[in-house]
Amino acid sequence: MAVTPVPDDPALAAAYEHCRRIHAAHGRTYYLATRLLPAPVRPHVWALYAFARTADEIVDSPSGHDPQALPDWARTAMRTLRAAEPPHPLVDPLLAATWSTMRTYALDPTLVEEFLASMSMDLTVSRYQTWGDLLSYMRGSAAVIGELMAPILGASGPEALQRAGALGEAFQLTNFIRDVSEDFHRGRIYLPLEDLRAHDVSEALLEAAIRSTRPDARVRALVAFEVDRARQLYLEAAPGLAMVADTSRPCLEAAYRLYGGILDEVERHDHNVFAGRVHVPTRRRLATAASLVGRRAFRDVVQRRP
């Protein structure tokens, strides 16, 4: 993959640094993985993450009760991203960096529109009846993010995009499993209601598990079912790891293994995601990154041999 550097513009560099700080503050697992990317690629990943996170924060912030906050911001964002000229980085660093990344990799702005449409659903939709309904939401909220990231990581073609989308969905379903309590307190249940019914879990029983932090066996079985479903998405996405550039593979493998590691921790806690936020221990996160760095260094030495 030919790495496209960020233009040598101090103001634009500061805009990407603004995005980096957002990513570092809110996405510890994925941010650690991005440290394995070539330095010129990292800012573009930071920009897309920061854009997505900003939209999510607008929806979930205390002021998110304003139904016009996200639509107004989304209109401004799309108008800016489709404009021939970017905003000045000092005026809007987030959109300036995102505009630059979109142009650098010729990313399709309709994918961003799909993402923002799913974010808007969070303003009015708090339950999903079926897995198909949730997948429709995840198409815009997660799969398109994978498709936007794919060219930055050096992947192209329909199959690579499909695998990237599946990985985005795997990551998001992992988040839904981990964050059941947090989402419930925001008035949302992302686990399909048909799954609750199949496991004889009422919303009242789910709320009791959240309040007591000691889930009923039926609630644990529901969580176990969703963990298995997430693992299927990871399996579907796995061939895509080999479809990115060699220089991007350690990053993607780290993200794949660390997010999958959250599911390992859910299982280790007997599917109790209510007693505190489940996370991959720091030692395991660092060991994963170190092993991938070592593998990359060994490969680079071998490739340099005469």
pLDDT at site 304: 42
Q: Are residues 46 and 16 in contact, defined by beta-carbon separation less than 8 angstroms? A: yes
pLDDT at site 134: 98
Give domain 7-124's CATH number out of 3.30.450.20, 1.10.600.10, 1.20.810.10, 1.10.3720.10: 1.10.600.10
Long-range contacts of 262-270 (CB under 8 A, 24+ apart): 262/29, 262/174, 262/177, 262/178, 263/174, 263/177, 263/227, 263/230, 263/231, 266/177, 266/178, 266/223, 266/227, 267/224, 267/227, 270/220
Domain ranges of the chain: 7-124, 126-296
- Decide whether 7-124 matches 126-296 in CATH topology: yes
Nearest Cα to Cα of residue 34 among 299, 295, 297, 289: 289
pLDDT at site 289: 59
Name the residue with tokens 């920061």: 50
pLDDT at site 297: 46
Averaged pLDDT in 10-residue chunks for the chain of 306 residues: 61 95 89 90 96 93 73 96 94 96 96 97 96 98 97 96 97 96 96 98 97 95 98 98 95 92 94 88 67 53 38
pLDDT at site 33: 86
Give domain 126-296's CATH number out of 1.20.1090.10, 2.40.110.20, 1.10.600.10, 3.30.365.10: 1.10.600.10
pTM listed for this prediction: 0.89
Q: Is 68 helix (H, G, I), strand (E, B) or coil?
A: coil
